[in-house]
Structures are given as structure tokens and as C-alpha cells.
Structure 1
């Protein structure tokens, strides 16, 4: 029996979390949505997950451990280094974009400010990563 696929959403802003979860559910994906509200929770969740999530949607500006350090830790760990990570952030700083890709982000998406565009962007991410992309099976 196949285990339930999960998506890990790492978001500290309650409004953005609600919008993202709503968009993920509207995308009609069957994956369970796990939430981490800071970098420490994100790392604890992913390092204890079995199986790993099919994708992590990661904000950069997080309390406790920032998103770039979360990404750095994931890529440094043999078990999690291939986990797909999509950066979803309000930052359009060139240095954040460059560093995210240098650290191995699979995608970098700037959060649209407008509600409809935000939900469409997250819905498209969900459709791609949970429906179109062929994940590797990581234990």
C-alpha cells in the first residue's frame, strides 16, 4: 500500500499560510499539506518525515532559522539533498534569488501581492509538483 504523499509548506505569515493552503486544496491534489511556521519546525519536520514530502514550499524570511539556512541544511544532508524545494517569498532581491539557486533551490517564485494571482501561482505550483512532476522515491 502506497503511503500518503505530502507537501511541506514553510510559512510564518498566517495570512499567506491560509491563502497557500486554500490554493493547494483548490488545485485538487491528493497530497496532505504539512505546515511549519519557522525554520526550526521545517527542519524537524523534514528530517523526521518518512517518506519525505514530494516538495517543500519554503519562505525565506522565517523566525529561528531563515529559509536560506533551511535550504543549506537540507542540501547538506544525504537523505534530504534531492528533496525538491520551491522558494515562495516576497523578496525580489537579486542576492536572494542567486543564493537560493546556488544552494540548490528547484524554483524561485515571488509571492504575488494580489489575492487572485497569489492563489493561482500556488495552485500552479501544486499542480506541477504533485501532479505533473515525476518524484523520486526518497525514504
Structure 2
């Protein structure tokens, strides 16, 4: 049986937020989505919340603190560094990919243009993480 995940989605594009919520709903998944519009808001949420998310889905291109900057801050925190962070982005830039893996991401998923392909990727991603043994930091 798969676990219900607490997911922190860090995404500044309202359409992308709606798309993820719609995909999860269409798959009849009961995961809890917490939304942050940018890295700065996400850090405030993480610092104020005693219940850390099971995974973080992170966009790279955001205002205030971009995804790479957020990731660097996260991985330098002794508690937060253990939260698996998956990049969910449109950037196929090899430099971004390498930089994120150097910092310590758990995965890098490109958002496909076709909605059906997007839903399939989200389903596979969440199925994996809901059966994976997660550390409770």
C-alpha cells in the first residue's frame, strides 16, 4: 500500500499549480499539497512548520530566490537537507541539471508539453515516492 505524501510544491506559475492539482485529482490520489509561490515563501513555510513535507517539488525559474538558490539554502540546513527535493521544470539546460545534482537533488523531471504525458510523469513520480522509505527529519 502506498503512503499519502505531504508535498511542498514551489511554483510561481498559477497554471502549473492548477495543472499539478488537476493531475493528482484525476489520478484519485490523496496526497496533501502545500503551495509556495517562490523559494522565499517556501523557506518561511519550512521554518515555521513542525511537520516537514515528505517531498518537495521545485521549479527552477522563480522570482526572489530561484530554484538553485533555494536548493543551496535547503541543503545547508541540518534538518531540511534530508527532505527529498525533485526538480519539476521546463528547463532542459544541461548546466541546470548538473548544478542541481551537484547540490543534492533526488530527481530532475522535465514537464512535457502534452497534458497526458505530464499526468503519466506525475503518477510515476508520486507512486515511487509514496512507496519509498522516507526519513522523517
User: TM above 0.5, one fold?
Assistant: yes
CA RMSD of aligned residues (A): 1.5
- Per-residue CA shift, 1:13-32, capped at 9, x if unaligned? 11111111122233444331
Q: Please give the secondary structure, in 2, of the residue aligned with 1:18.
A: helix
- Per the alignment, do residues 95 and 6 of structure 1 end up closer, same or farther by CA in structure 2, a change over 3 Å counting? same
1:39-118 counterparts in 2 under 5 A?
Answer: 39-118=39-118
TM-score by length of 2: 0.91
Does the CA contact (< 8 Å) of 2:5 and 2:55 recur in 1?
no
SS at match of 2:57: strand
Secondary structure of 2:98's counterpart equals: helix
Instruction: Indicate the SS of the match to 2:108.
Output: strand
Whole-angstrom CA distance in 1 between matches of 2:81 and 2:30: 24
Q: TM-score, normalised by structure 1?
A: 0.89
- The answer (yes or no) to whether the contact 2:10–2:36 under 8 Å persists in 1 is yes
| 2:131 aligned residue | 132
Mark the runs of 5 or more structure 2 residues left unpaired by the alignment: none
